[in-house]
């Protein structure tokens, strides 16, 4: 296992822990309105956007 794979697994583990621990509801103000959802879903969307941006910049 390379260092990159090990770091990726550690980061995925941290993200999963954060998503499990945040079950409160929150809202995100966007240009076109407000989105209300569970915080873990909001964080998951931000992580997904970050992964897409990271892949596109690679």
pLDDT digits (tens, 9 = 90+) for 35-56: 899 988 888 888 899 889 988 9
Give Cβ neighbours of residue 24 (< 8 Å, ≥ 6 apart): 38, 39
Domain span at residue 48? 3-57
What integer pLDDT is reported at residue 53 of this predicted model? 92
pLDDT digits (tens, 9 = 90+) for 13-40: 888 898 888 888 989 898 999 989 998 8
What integer pLDDT is reported at residue 56 of this predicted model? 92
Q: How many domains does the chain have?
A: 1
């Amino acid at each position: 296992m390379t260092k990159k794979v090990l770091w990726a697994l550690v980061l995925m583990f941290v993200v999963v822990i954060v998503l499990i621990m945040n079950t409160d509801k929150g809202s995100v103000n966007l240009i076109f309105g407000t989105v209300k959802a569970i915080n873990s879903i909001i964080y998951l969307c931000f992580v997904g956007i970050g992964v897409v941006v990271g892949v596109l910049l690679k």
